[in-house]
Structure 1
Amino acid sequence: MEFHCGIDVGKHKLQACLIWIKGKRRNKSVANTPAGRRTLYQWLERQLQGRLDTLQAILEPTAHYHEALAEELVELGVRVATPNPKQVKKFAEGLGFESKADRQDAFVLARMGESRELAAYTPPAPEVKALRALLARLEAVEKDAQRESNRLEHALTAQAPQDVIDSIRNSLAFLEAERRRLERMIDEHIDRHPPLKGDRELLESIRGISAKSSREMLSIIHRHPFDRAKQVASYVGVHPKVFESGTSKELPPCMSKMGSGRVRAKLYMAAVSAIQHNPDVRAFYQRLRSRGKAKMAALGAAMRKLVHICFGVIKNQTPYTPQIA
């Protein structure tokens, strides 16, 4: 018998709900600290009489606060699942829950694990985890630089004192230097690890995939044990969302947007470039346009095709070769 434990993860607290025999629930709340997590593991062992291998723990990914918990549970022999937050939200609505509360959210996660097959979580390799952290830091610096650039534009328009303008420019210069430094660190980190280096070269053999988009796709594909290209497309949110019920049938399919908006933004720019320089993507885009597809719908499909190509070159360990001359 497999038991299911939903764990609502917060910055400071973990709320667990263990679905027991005949649907009975047992709840436990602990601090999200090393000591608190040890208390949770000991409680689970007592409930299951030491049989942690019979447990599936379902965690909703919450920034980075769930990562230590997920990795420690896997080490203890627990099967861990980390479903997409949007899927969790829709499942909760299906159960009739519209408000959010820690105990309720933990129960929803447990019920989700009980009622459907969820993909098992696999902890990323240390070098992949480090790459993800470096990319997250680069994103933060780029956002800070954009904010300072907006402030500079406002200061110039408002004719702010020169000291204010100089301060903003100094901050922008620092952030630009830090951005370049982080990009060098990321490239050096990838070069130090042959699997990452080789796969980046494969990704950059695809016309339209730049250094920036290759880093993102490299991190995503190495971080999750995808079996098919459709799974990658679903993860980044570029797969089509089809309406097939009631009057919704009249609505055209649209992009699901279930993944990271930042990754999709880079894929958007990659698709724009690929339509110009990649013969396969260009032919695909033009074929959709000739059938009456709107420009943005065809561009979204081109993004999805690029994701499929990215997965294909890494899975087959073969550089990209255009099928159309």
Structure 2
Amino acid sequence: MSKSITETAGIDVSKRKLDVALAAGPDRLQASNDPAGYQQIESWLREHGVERVGLEASGHYEAAVAAHLRRVGFCVVLLDPAQVKGFRRFKKKRAKNDKIDARLIAVATADMEPDSIRPAPDERLAPWAEHLTLIEQIGEDISRLKTRRDRYSLPAHKRYLETEITRLSRRRDREIVRLLAKLRRHPDLALKLDLLESIPGLGPLTALSFVLRMPELGRMTRAEAAALVGVAPFDDESGEHTGERHIAGGRKRLRRSIYQAAFSASQRWNPILLALYKRLIAKGKHHKVATVACARKLVEIANAILARATPWQDKAVTP
């Protein structure tokens, strides 16, 4: 039995409880999803010589226990639900309950190569990323209200919606200022923001998305960065079949923010993206295909600028 298997456990997460199982061995534990439960799990894992712990992303209910285990020295691996589902199918496991899932997560975590496990995230970023989500959701509420406004004809109703739009817009602007101020108290994050905002067409919200939702940026290849965002096209070929390439996966909110920024920048603000968009359209590419290509190029530019720690220059060489 390999060393990594004997030192690995999995946790199935729900709102109120946590089921823990070893990748090897019958021992199991059930604890409450609260600080007392985290202490109980920590002691149990140490008793069993566990070093690596896998959890399935579960509607943010896993965040607190993952943060606690990282803080006390465990290697924590957060698995996408699609990974766990695919591993279940690979292992041909049909039965499903919390105890079975915990063991499956443990085995899937033990099977991961060490170089595929990302380092622990910066603990400072999680509350700020939550603040950014609030800002984005306020923006989504504003968009919905604008759609509703266009469907009403009575002046009183339209005035009410206009008032709500104005109120939320002001609130969103205030929250952006507050979040930027929080990050700028930290010199390393302030530098990242300045470097990213030097890129034409990349505003404060997109800079915040890069810094908070993609802290790895600047320490990876252009292909890795594009795949992590979800703007890298994947092949669809088999034998004589050659299908269209499609983007997939990635970090949803980050991808949406970058796509919106790329759309704006490629129409007016960024000379590299503007030239790329026009060239692709001239070749007959669909507008969305050209915009996705610009989003990928924007990620590459941001990655290169952070890697070099050099702000945008008008004669910048395409990364």
Specify the TM-score bucket, using the shorter chain as the normaliser.
Answer: 0.7 to 0.9
The aligned counterpart of 1:77 is 73
Identity among equivalent positions (%) equals 28
Q: Does structure 2 retain, via aligned residues, the 8 Å contact 1:61–1:82?
A: yes
The aligned counterpart of 1:94 is 90
The aligned counterpart of 2:317 is 323
SS in 2 for 1:120: coil
Q: Which amino acid aligns with 2:10?
A: G
The aligned counterpart of 2:261 is 270
The aligned counterpart of 2:190 is 197
What TM-score do the two structures reach when normalised by structure 2? 0.83
The aligned counterpart of 1:32 is 33
The aligned counterpart of 1:129 is 126
Q: Which amino acid aligns with 1:210?
A: G
Q: Provide closer, same or farther for how the CA distance between residues 317 and 108 of structure 1 changes in structure 2, counting only shifts above 3 A.
A: same
SS in 1 for 2:19: strand
Shift of 1:115: 1.9
Query: CA offsets per residue over residues 35-86 of structure 1, 9 Å max, x none?
Result: 111122222223x1xx34xx21111223432222122212332211113333
Q: Does structure 2 retain, via aligned residues, the 8 Å contact 1:207–1:278?
A: yes
Query: CA offsets per residue over residues 131-177 of structure 1, 9 Å max, x none?
Result: 212202212322333444445455x34x59x4x66665554443233
Q: Does structure 2 retain, via aligned residues, the 8 Å contact 1:79–1:120?
A: no
Structure 2: 5+ residue runs without aligned partners? Answer: none
Q: Provide closer, same or farther for how the CA distance between residues 174 and 308 of structure 1 changes in structure 2, counting only shifts above 3 A.
A: same
Cα distance in structure 2, aligned partners of 1:178 and 1:100: 45
Q: Which amino acid aligns with 2:45?
A: L
Q: Which amino acid aligns with 2:137?
A: A
Query: CA offsets per residue over residues 220-255 of structure 1, 9 Å max, x none?
Result: 2337895334333222211222224467x4321101
Cα distance in structure 2, aligned partners of 1:258 and 1:170: 36
Q: Which amino acid aligns with 1:305?
A: K
| Aligned length, in residue pairs | 309
SS in 2 for 1:82: strand
Shift of 1:310: 0.8
Query: CA offsets per residue over residues 154-203 of structure 1, 9 Å max, x none?
Result: 5x34x59x4x6666555444323321210121222233222222111111
Q: Does structure 2 retain, via aligned residues, the 8 Å contact 1:237–1:255?
A: yes
Q: Provide closer, same or farther for how the CA distance between residues 11 and 235 of structure 1 changes in structure 2, counting only shifts above 3 A.
A: farther
* Residue 307 (1) aligns with residue 295 (2): no
Cα distance in structure 2, aligned partners of 1:279 and 1:225: 22
SS in 2 for 1:215: helix
Q: Does structure 2 retain, via aligned residues, the 8 Å contact 1:15–1:102?
A: yes
Q: Provide closer, same or farther for how the CA distance between residues 214 and 95 of structure 1 changes in structure 2, counting only shifts above 3 A.
A: same
Q: Provide closer, same or farther for how the CA distance between residues 235 and 86 of structure 1 changes in structure 2, counting only shifts above 3 A.
A: farther
Q: Does structure 2 retain, via aligned residues, the 8 Å contact 1:124–1:223?
A: no
SS in 1 for 2:220: coil
What TM-score do the two structures reach when normalised by structure 1? 0.82
Q: Provide closer, same or farther for how the CA distance between residues 39 and 289 of structure 1 changes in structure 2, counting only shifts above 3 A.
A: same
Q: Does structure 1 retain, via aligned residues, the 8 Å contact 2:21–2:29?
A: yes
Cα distance in structure 2, aligned partners of 1:312 and 1:182: 29
Q: Bigger shift: 25-34 or 238-247?
A: 238-247
Shift of 1:34: 0.6
Structure 1: 5+ residue runs without aligned partners? Answer: none
Shift of 1:218: 1.6
Q: Provide closer, same or farther for how the CA distance between residues 145 and 271 of structure 1 changes in structure 2, counting only shifts above 3 A.
A: closer
Q: Provide closer, same or farther for how the CA distance between residues 172 and 202 of structure 1 changes in structure 2, counting only shifts above 3 A.
A: same
The aligned counterpart of 1:250 is 242
RMSD across aligned positions (CA): 2.9
* Residue 142 (1) aligns with residue 135 (2): no
The aligned counterpart of 1:180 is 173
The aligned counterpart of 2:118 is 120
Q: Does structure 2 retain, via aligned residues, the 8 Å contact 1:280–1:323?
A: no
The aligned counterpart of 1:19 is 23
Cα distance in structure 2, aligned partners of 1:176 and 1:282: 29
